[in-house]
Structure 1
């Protein structure tokens, strides 16, 4: 078995400890959508505020309450359970009236509107966070300096611990399966395990770039991604690529391994291959499962970062793009401790 790759901090490491999620209201998330429901169509879109519910459990409850198949319920992104989060769901209701719901504790309807299309994964453009860190114990001056650096430079775009299951179980089971072990019994588990393995390998590559000081700098052979885009282009196609990376206009990327796709070259490729060599056969096994290779930015920009002290508590507000983890930002600031 292989432990999860370690993810070194880029800004000197946590300068304090704090209690996170002592109460659900300490972790608030609002989903920022790219699409506005049109007001007509076969799909009922619902904006729901949930407390101590995870996203999949809400989807299952909606399907049961509306007497439809679970696959007829859509959502854009997974949100934390121990939090207060606002997100959209869609229900496919062809020829049916809007259901009448008896909302349980922890769920509150904010908006309901019809649309012509199902809400698919990744439809939102980002999330807005309000986070309360309680009983902060550490050097405030260093914390303030780190916050300023994060606002300017962002953080390494690691996948958060949520991606790997409790105690990294999905990563461990996924590796064991790809090495010839027991396959997942459910289709959903298959997706979770494959995702955990790819995410762990990506984190390992980013970690090495952090150690070498190039997570936010150009390497020869990099594939770059413009800010706010999913497109890619080779760094050698742009003579100003290095300056654009420093300016935050484009970001270096790392591999989400799978079947051959657009590949890096030169020094970037050597770094990636040396890191991935620690897991022999895993990339080939991912490809054998039909997983397509992809790339993800190694740098995570943090928008609108603000902070305020209230006694010993520190409140942060920030915006992150789709697929990013607030816990990745917090890991640069604090180590978590129990209440």
Structure 2
């Protein structure tokens, strides 16, 4: 069985290994605010609730909201799961057709606050969000302050490798262990939810390995012959065989980014040197590639460079506060790993719980 070590993935700034800090010493140290790509219509069968929750699981919140509103769980919609050990603000939709709308204020508690109430004509679906705004307090900060400043400035200027965060792979990488049991031993997951979770984890891990290799080769933010480029802020990709000034200028201005594969059926979309690099890394994972292909997944690409927007930081007596915006599907922990070795304070006193458990 393979050994999965997230910490072994390459860092751009090796000075980060000399820095340490603690995140989530309290839920208030990790704040997330979701941003939708649209304004609610103000009318329609779906009540839209913007909720701020503290130390609360999104799935659990959705179940409680369905019970409170007297609707089936399928009537609840949300754009994405938000960190449990945090203070997070997100939108949830409730289809209230056929039921009497309750007094929403009665749903509030010490851990749940409803900020806005409006309506919309559609259910809020997973993945329909622009991104998230993070405000993070890093405590127990260790390391030379000037070195920290250099690392912060480098992230602000050059961005970071767009790794899938460690949370994608489960506690102690358990999701990847389950993938191994499925792909190599035939232990197929029983639920559709777990199947999707494991397939996502498998593709994400292979992507991370390729990103790590490009970081080691110092070309994670450069054009490589045969690369597939992605337009910033979109999923639109194109192949460019022209090593010209215009391409390098667009790269330098973050208009386009190199990509790595989310593997599936068929051949890699890259060519030449880029394809050779990807093929070499994937050579030891043939069982996974064949299994992913059998599941009918299509070849896709994901940017391997991430530039946090509106990246700022401020030093306080007891902590360092870092704030930034990330597009949907990107991970704050992938930004933090370019700054320091991170310890998660929420794991000091408790073990992760299943989605059916609140806290």
TM-score range with shorter-chain normalisation? over 0.9
Q: With the length of structure 1 as denominator, give the TM-score of the two structures.
A: 0.95
User: Is 1:65 the counterpart of 2:75 in the alignment?
Assistant: no
Task: Give the one of 177, 186, 190 matched to 2:182.
Answer: 177
Aligned position for 2:11: 9
What's the offset of the Cα at 1:58? 1.3
Gaps of 5+ in 2: 349-359
Q: For the aligned residues, what is the CA RMSD?
A: 1.7
Cα distance in 1 between the residues matched to 2:96 and 2:323: 37
- SS across alignment from 1:152: helix
Q: Secondary structure at the residue paired with 1:281? A: helix
Question: Does structure 2 retain, via aligned residues, the 8 Å contact 1:46–1:89?
Answer: yes
Distance across 2 between alignment mates of 1:321 and 1:19: 24
Match of 2:357 in 1: none
Shift of 1:261: 7.2
Asked whether the 8 Å contact 1:261–1:294 carries over to 2, the reply is no
Question: 1: CA distance between counterparts of 2:243 and 2:79?
Answer: 34
Q: Which residue of 2 aligns with 1:75?
A: 78
1:180 Cα deviation after fit: 3.7
| Distance of 1:8 and 1:97 partners within structure 2 | 54
Question: Which residue of structure 2 lines up, in the alignment, with residue 315 of structure 1?
Answer: 321
* 1:2 match: secondary structure: coil
Query: Secondary structure of the equivalent of 1:119?
Result: coil
Aligned residue number for residue 255 of structure 1 = 261
Alignment partner, residue 137 of structure 1: 142
Which stretch of structure 1 is more off in the superposition, 38-47 or 3-12? 3-12
Deviates more, 1:58-67 or 1:245-254: 58-67
Cα deviation for residue 243 of structure 1 reads 2.7
- CA 1:262–1:208 in 2, change beyond 3 Å: closer, same or farther? closer
Matched, 1:89 2:118: no
Residue 50 (structure 2) pairs with residue 47 (structure 1): yes
Residue in 1 that maps onto 2:220: 215
The answer to whether structure 1 residue 118 and structure 2 residue 123 are counterparts is: yes
1:266 aligns with 2:287: no
Change (3 A) 1:263 1:156: same
> Residue 320 of structure 2 aligns to a residue in which SS?
strand
Q: Who is 1:156 aligned against?
A: 161
Call closer, same or farther: CA 1:261–1:94 in 2, change over 3 Å: farther
Deviation of 1:62 after TM superposition, in Å, equals: 1.5
> Normalized against structure 2, the TM-score is what?
0.90
Report the Cα distance in structure 1 between the residues aligned to 2:273 and 2:258, rounded to whole angstroms.
13
Q: Is residue 138–residue 319 contact of structure 2 (8 Å, CA) maintained in 1?
A: yes
Secondary structure of 2:241's counterpart equals helix
Aligned match for 1:146, one of 151, 154, 160: 151
Task: Give yes or no for contact 2:210–2:281 (8 Å, CA) kept in 1.
Answer: yes
Q: Which runs of 5+ in 1 are unaligned?
A: none
Deviation, structure 1 residue 181: 2.4
Q: Cα distance, 1:96 vs. partner?
A: 3.5
How many corresponding residue pairs?
339
Provide the residue aligned with 1:302 in structure 2.
308
Distance 1:312 1:325 in 2: 25
